[in-house]
Structure 1
């Protein structure tokens, strides 16, 4: 990598100052000795020493200098590239991505509150809804690819092949009967039937069915014009009887019907778990379900129609779906801002997620930094670092030259002062 123009300029400036110090030292060494030439020589000599020392230090950071006993302490960055990467990774892991650091940062800045405030602005909600809309459009367009559809079908078939329908059905039934949930379902059905029995339209429909049956089975009743009268009375009586039976079932936890349902479900669960014939039938059903062309075609047509409708809605920002997405964003932000309990709950869950993921993520990032730095070329890394900080290092060379010259002049002046004081002391009577 070639150095930048600013770095080259900084190098030329530092080298020019070094050459100036060298020229001053050589020139003053050739001139006759007097206080002024001695002072200039001391200044240029000290500046030259400072310039050479800083040149050695800066160069030794990036390149090997073949000087006996000292060369092993040069090329600091290329030789220690891996150690620098490891220490950098550990520093990032410990100081930036530790669990305590992340939790403290989250509690200080309250990200849920800030995100909610940001999302509550209509322009931001519109921006997020547009991102969601474009993401959904991309997903729907990808799904139109024939190879992807083939992959989805194959994945679905693989999933169906791996399903144990008998075990799954038995587990679902066990969850249904757990804590009497199936009895709650029965109670809900009883309530619905009771309401329907009280409905006049339901009784009329039952009466009409009974009238048709009486006409077919007992034609004499139709001749005597008793069919409709009897059917109405029978419908009313049947409704009352059913209502009485349903009331008995609903008010008794030990009713025979409830016990019968419990027994039948237990038998069904046992068969699903242990009866090979039932398991074989379910396996056959699974194969038929997967190979049924009519069902597969129906699903494909249904998906194609749904997909086209969604795409049409999503491609227009002013469509009903696009407006709903924006309204949903605003609603979520409003609910978070208005409900302190909801905001606190979200904050707690966010902190739990960060606490659980922080160790794994920080370790992953640390390994990534180490592996990445280890994979870099040492010379290229050195050049890259020099490219970024080399200008400042050249400024240090300039400063070292100037400071060295100033110190040289100061030391020479102090030396002259000391000589004068000594002379005065020796000549004092």
Structure 2
């Protein structure tokens, strides 16, 4: 009897092994169907055209098309396909599905995508684009453009919970316009780790490039940017229902026909934003960038909540150098919790402001721009600006909507901008 049980167990295991590829194929089909359904949004629609499931492999054909009529019209004008049909050859593994995908109706676009999807839906992906050149359609305006790409790649992971990682690399991109102008980008890379919640990205994203250059019809550089990077960081405190965001920008050098700038850096943050209100505003804008009256009515309570709960706007650092000197600044504006009725009476915001301000600008920059010089002179007369060895400094605390200087003088924060605006108007 014991031997019969052992034989039965072995037979059951063999049967399971033989049936497992069918089970994997069935589970995989459900995973793919769910994934395709989640890809559709207001701009792009995704659907499964056919799914041929076999014992050890399957073939899937999916269709992606632009649903936004304005975007579709623009792509049609440029001669860019608004519909892609993708064929995926899927292999059934023991615990995962491996797929190799190519574009069927756009064979001149040398893109392949390889994915490995676990049975729980988590996916590793790798997309590769070979060297590619594209020429737009000739239009009545004669603005034909040729785009050339070097081999590029995109890889990462995506989980069923919405967590995404990605890393993209594009060694070079060049646009050649019919007029003879050129735009060139080299060593472009991007990465990210996070997930989208309520229309807003939580996590990190970064973008960098070694060179961005624009040439005129004589192939002379009219604008160039070297070693530029951007990083976005956001986090959510679920218990407090708050969101913090930070934007970091660094550029080694910018050269243009108007002059040169070096060592540009910016560190800007929005802190303690009400999660529900902020996500609602982001989602509303993404759904309709051109706001109508109905949207404005929907915005009002979101803005009311945002200000009532309070938040901070902070420029941790802004710094750059021109040929004539340096500018650097940091400031903080805080809307305290309990700032109510903003949508009905926006004037309640200024008296509620708290924070600080510290800005320094060198003599060379001030003297280069007469309207700025006049404004700074006015602020010095009002004892809001001090002159030091390197230039001019404005430093003050912000209390109840007033600038409070070291000498105890208090002035409304709006008074800071009045001399600059008046002198700027006189310069035209």
Q: Normalized per residue, which structure has more strand?
A: 2
Higher relative contact order (CA 8 A, sep 6+): 1
The alignment's TM-score, normalised by the length of structure 2, stands at 0.21
Question: Looking at CA atoms only, which structure, 1 or 2, has the larger radius of gyration?
Answer: 1
Could you tell me the TM-score, scaled by structure 1's length?
0.21
Whichever structure has more helix as a proportion of its residues is 1
